[in-house]
Amino acid sequence: MALNATVAAANSLQETLYGGLDFSSLTWLEKQWVAWYIWIGNPIIATGLMSFLMHEIVYFGRCIPWIIIDAIPYFRQWKLQPNKIPTPAEQWECTKQVLFSHFTIELPAIWLFHPMAESFGMTTYQVPFPSWKTMVPQIFFFFFFEDLFHFLAHQALHKGVLYKHIHKLHHKYAAPFGLAAEYAHPAEVFILGTGTIAGPILYCYFTQNLHILTVYIWITLRLFQAIDAHSGYDFPWSLHNIVPFWSGAEHHDFHHMAFTNNFSTSFRWWDRIFGTDKKYLEYRARIKAAKIAMKNASKDKQEEMERRLMEEVEAEGQRAEAEVEREFSNKKTQ
């Protein structure tokens, strides 16, 4: 009896969600999508569970290769700050904070995403999926929107109370590593996460043409970008060496080391337009000039030169950070 009732409920849900659909016309992935929603039996729960699992699997799955790379000395030749390798204790501490934010901020937001998305006209359980010609421009718009939002919000997080009580946690590591991409105060996760999800919501509101699969692809790419930017490694095949306006670890690592400059995430153009990369450009020019001047020096002396320049930049960054906190304290006492 119970089995018959379950089968009847599944058939009823299939009829409600997919009545009149020609299943033979679907791709393998689309059939799995339909099977998931029918198996869970509730579209809100199915979307919430799939969204959260996708986020956790992608985030930690992308972090694992960087954890392995950090443990292998061979890769230090491409490490931007080779003398600062995260310890297992630091990685575990980082993981605990990331999980705390995931379950306190991201899980509730993800769970409420289905009804909110549908209220703006987003399709979720529906098939067939949109074509790549439809999805690619949408994803580019999400990258553009998030990058601009992050550029502005990130600068605000470097001011007064927002830095002292929120963003300071993320700057604990002057040499970031993959897991540290979402090592942040829950309030920061909410603030910067808004840029990730507001683009799709606004796009959907105005166009009524967005499938949640496109959002999943966007979030996957965004997580890859954030984790790789915090990896601390610059390889010859890193994307910024192929696409000059891409940000990447080489760009963002300087922000953690110097505290100032390079506030954007995916692209370099906002920092270039508004001049928030001047110290970064000066630093790269100094490194280049020093390498030319010391081209005949030993490898040890060249590494010592780079280490000294890094220490100078980090010291300047520590003074800049102290100045922000001092200004906040002065305003608080006035």
Structural domain spans, the chain: 29-73+88-233, 236-324
Q: Residue 297 region, left (φ>0) first, then alpha (ψ -120 to 50), else beta?
A: beta
Beta pairing partners, 123: 211
The reported pLDDT for the residue numbered 118 is 81
The reported pLDDT for the residue numbered 319 is 93
Cα separation, 38 vs 50, whole angstroms? 13
Backbone CA torsion sign across 4, 8, 14, 17? negative
For the chain, the first-to-last Cα distance in angstroms comes to: 74
The reported pLDDT for the residue numbered 39 is 94
The reported pLDDT for the residue numbered 9 is 55
The reported pLDDT for the residue numbered 308 is 92
Q: Which pTM was predicted?
A: 0.92
Quick one: the chain helix, strand, coil %, rounded to 5?
A: 75, 0, 25
Contacts of 304 (CB under 8 A, 6+ apart): none
pLDDT digits (tens, 9 = 90+) for 81-98: 998 999 999 999 999 999
Checking 161-165 for CB contacts under 8 A at 24+ apart, the result is 161/328, 163/324, 163/325, 163/328, 164/324, 164/325, 164/328
The reported pLDDT for the residue numbered 242 is 94
The reported pLDDT for the residue numbered 2 is 47
Cα separation, 334 vs 72, whole angstroms? 51
Intervals of the chain under pLDDT 50: 2-3, 5
